[in-house]
Amino acid sequence: MVQPISFPFLSRRALLKAAALGPAAGLLPGALQAAPLGGFTHSVASGDPLQDSVTLWTRFVPAYGGVAQLRMELARDEAFRDIVARGSALAGPETGFCAKVRPEGLTPGQWYYYRFTAPDGQVSDMGRTRTLPAGPLDNFRIGVFSCANATSGWFNAYGHAAARDDLDLVMHLGDYIYESTLSRSDALKELAVARNIQPQHEIISLLDYRQRYASYRMDADLQAIHRRYPMIAMCDDHETVNNSWDNGAENHGSHEGSWAARLGAAMQAWHEWMPMRSEPYTSYELGDLASLFRLETRILGRSKQLDLGAFLQGKSDPLVAAATFRDGPLADPGRTMMGADQESWLAEGFARSRAAGTKWQILAQQVIMGTTIMPRDFMAWFKPGDPPSADKKAELELAVKLGEIGIPTSMDRWDGYPAARSRILAGAQAAEADLVVLSGDSHNAWAYELDNAGQPAGVEFAGHSVSSLGMDKRYFGDPQAIARSYLETNPNIKWCDTSRRGYMVVDITPQAVTNEWLFLHSRHQRSLEVLDRHRMQVRKGERRLVPV
């Protein structure tokens, strides 16, 4: 059986309203300036696999600009002699000429090959995909990515992963695209030109978001990883607007129109371009080895980020005011990252997974869960002979004092929602889960131990970016000294790297989960050379990290 994939986030009326925020010609294929004007423009992709189904994707622009019915074939072999499913999908202007189809009734743990054929006989690239395994399982390996700013560096991490043959699945934890202008401070102008990233301004309308995806998906390394592996993806904030919450975003102003219209346009484009179903959060079973929970922490139930600076402004004693902030707004149990429904669903999922005898419970989500306090030795962040300005030094000194009374460095992470975090970790503890959290967003690499109520609750592997700059955008001190400053102040941080790009590989066995951070070139050259690696492991039942 083959299920067509709908695009549920906007009605036709709302879609046209969102499109009206940009040039009317944008619904036509020619508006996607970064893409070929006709045929199969962006190769193929697959994702959101279950044991018996997977979503298949392509984009096709008919020569006449109307709607084309594509034929899909799914086979067990590359020659397509053993075809197990056939189906069809429509590609037309209402979905930006993107098409998705979901064959069902497939065999668990099986590699498949797929392709699409157009009415005029054109045939797409061949893609490879895999269903999730069922039953007893000895090993499962996942490539994990986040934060790929096309104007900050090349996508070498995607290319390296696509060239290997030992992964079972890839995951993207968010910031697959960036909505910002191409002239942002970390952009390389020559890179934006070379990659023909469109449009050049900050994206707002449905047409803008479509063009940005079309530009990104012309990248050869991104196309390669989509052809090679099924992907489970989720949104962070840059798929919509920087530092978003359930009813707005820090970088969305009233002059940019309705937040609801912009959010709808962003999500419409995301669902057009990504090989995913419509569920904002869900779980996946990796045989009896792990339950993988894909969370939504940005727009469904996230309370607006607190503004500590505004709270302290004008206060005669900032530290007294900060203590009031810590014990009042910051500790408020009503503030959530996910909303009550998703929290309950997750707690029930932990319990169900453990009752079934599943060995690991893995959260795939957007932002860092571990607590991060400002290091005392922040002078290590600056090059010798290039000290901070007086204002910057005063700012960092205040951050240190705030950390000493329990105020973390970021209100946009789980640190800004401590009561909600405690509920999640308490749910894992109550279920006696072996919890592993995977997170992105920070652009740097981190390993955390997660405690709750003074007891171990799990571990966290936080990924560095594919290309987006991290702390190295602002601070140019010795990265090893910067890492030491974090570890000396934060005993829950067991390792970090604040200067390099790449991706993670999570290797799951019944006895342990091992994470490997791989570091590659990014900013100034295309290369698949691995510059360095670091590995850490959590063993079954220990909820503590050890180097390997």
DSSP 42-69: EEEEEE---SS--EEEEEEE-TTSS-EE
pLDDT, residue 65, reads 83
CATH match for 2-278 among 1.10.10.10, 2.60.40.380, 2.30.40.10, 3.50.50.60: 2.60.40.380
Q: Max CA-CA distance within the chain?
A: 77
Q: Would you say residue 10 has pLDDT above 50? A: no
Q: CA 213, CA 216: separation in Å to the nearest integer?
A: 5
Q: CA 223, CA 213: separation in Å to the nearest integer?
A: 12
Parse the chain into domains and list their residue ranges.
Answer: 2-278, 308-453+473-494
Q: CA 240, CA 542: separation in Å to the nearest integer?
A: 38
pLDDT, residue 145, reads 99
Q: In what order do the strands lie in the sheet with 501-508?
A: 2-4, 98-103, 55-61, 39-47, 231-233, 169-172, 140-145, 501-508, 512-520, 530-539, 545-547
Q: What is the mean pLDDT of residues 20-36?
A: 40
Q: Would you say residue 153 has pLDDT above 70? A: yes
Q: Would you say residue 409 has pLDDT above 50? A: yes
Q: Would you say residue 12 has pLDDT above 90? A: no
Angle, helix 390-404 to helix 318-327, in steps of 10 degrees: 40
Q: CA 320, CA 326: separation in Å to the nearest integer?
A: 10
Lookup result for tokens 């104007």: 151
Counting Cβ atoms within 10 Å, is residue 111 exposed (0-12), middle (13-18) or buried (19+)?
Answer: middle
316 DSSP 8-state letter = S
pLDDT, residue 100, reads 98
Q: Would you say residue 24 has pLDDT above 90? A: no
Q: Would you say residue 426 has pLDDT above 90? A: yes
Q: CA 90, CA 67: separation in Å to the nearest integer?
A: 7
Place 427 in a pLDDT band, splitting at 50, 70 and 90: very high
Indicate the pTM of the whole model. 0.94
Q: Would you say residue 539 has pLDDT above 60? A: yes
pLDDT mean across residues, the chain:
94
Q: CA 343, CA 331: separation in Å to the nearest integer?
A: 17
pLDDT, residue 11, reads 43
Place 9 in a pLDDT band, splitting at 50, 70 and 90: very low
Place 375 in a pLDDT band, splitting at 50, 70 and 90: very high
Q: What is the mean pLDDT of residues 468-485?
A: 95
Nearby residues of 516 by Cβ (< 8 Å), 6 or more positions away: 504, 505, 507, 533, 534, 535
